[in-house]
Amino acid sequence: MSSQMDHRLSSEHEELRRTVEEFAHDVVAPKIGDLYERHEFPYEIVREMGRMGLFGLPFPEEYGGMGGDYLALGIALEELARVDSSVAITLEAGVSLGAMPVFRFGTEEQKRQWLPKLCAGEALGAFGLTEPGAGSDAGGTRTTAVRDGDEWVINGSKCFITNSGTDITALVTVTAVTGRKPDGKPLISSIIVPSGTPGFTVAAPYSKVGWNASDTRELSFSDVRVPAANLLGEEGRGYAQFLRILDEGRVAISALATGLAQGCVDESLKYAAERHAFGKPIGDNQAVQFKIADMEMRAHMARIGWHDAASRLVNGEPFKKEAAIAKLYSSTVAVDNAREATQIHGGYGFMNEYPVARMWRDSKILEIGEGTSEVQRMLIARELGMNA
């Protein structure tokens, strides 16, 4: 059997999985419910994740990373999301959206300046792409950056930006229109804006349905000046860069969604054994057994999907279609499993003290963030040669 088809973990990856599983149960689970209810960012947990090297997993050791790969990152995300998605999305966005653009497209100087802190989890990076009027259509970007001598002057706003306003946020990479092509279409470039730059304002946190212990904010830029050297990659290549970053990010989000789907199985199994009705555990009822069997099947297939996309990415093969399939399927089953887990828990599933209530609230955004389910279907159709 080729490695492409064998989705069992190597001994190193299995060791990582067990370590993160233990951390999620021993450290995250006891604290996160309270932080979630109070809408508080889990600084202490993030610090510990940094010490474990989780923020540096897919980066080379020369920049302070662990020398791992995207499969390793996905494994960590899946195990965290089995317990809590706020913590998992903080890691996912910190790595895939915060640090990865600097690693993929940055100059040597930019990498040495930012990556060691980001890999250590001492600082977080954010990814400023979405705008109030440009979400799925990122080509509709209205934020502008005009060259003025040795500086860029940025004006505009971004919304729904994860990790953008924490006490340890160090930078936001912003997409902005820096000119026009001959046909009038915008030239979109990526520019690093350090936190605290004058004119860069971070709004109060959003009031969200879920992911309540993660940081999500609106950003505004009013004549924000940064050095010309803060351009990330080539001018006019920002849109192409972020399409690549989003393809990779979909693999990571798919791992996270799979973790949530599996967490719903874990919690339902536990509850079905403890909860008695009509003189026996509810898990003795075939109706409950079949629900949980279907949930396990969905989580298993989602895992195979993201592992396949990750192995293609790691091997340098085309993976755009597989990433879209993994993202579409895993986010759908996360919502399905969360709904069924809530049903199995009955009235207790509606109480915030039970993890499944959190999972139900956290699942829906997975069908929206980092590319909606509709966009994934467009991508799959396009990869099949259809005009979508």
Question: How many C-alpha atoms does 310 have within 13 Å on its Cβ side?
Answer: 28
Q: Which residues contact 10 (CB under 8 A, 6 or more apart)?
A: none
| SS3 label, residue 168 | coil
Give SS3 for 41: coil
Query: Which of 174, 379, 356, 176 has its CA nearest to residue 272?
Result: 356
> How many other C-beta atoms lie within 10 A of the C-beta of residue 222?
13
CB neighbours of 266 closer than 8 A, spacing ≥ 6?
Answer: 82
- Catalytic residue of the set 15, 44, 370, 374: 370
3-state secondary structure of 134: strand
Note if 131 is an active site residue. Answer: no
Separation in Å, CA 209 to CA 119, 162, 326: 29, 15, 24
Torsion angles phi and psi, residue 189, rounded to 5: -120, 160
Would you tell me the crossing angle of helices 320-345 and 355-363 to the nearest 10 degrees? 140
The set of residues, in sequence order, having a beta carbon less than 8 Å from that of 102 and lying 6+ positions away, is 110, 111, 114, 115, 118, 125, 173, 192, 232
Q: Note whether 153 and 198 are within 8 A (CB).
A: no
State phi, psi for 187 to the nearest 5 degrees. -90, 115
Residues marked active site are found at: 370
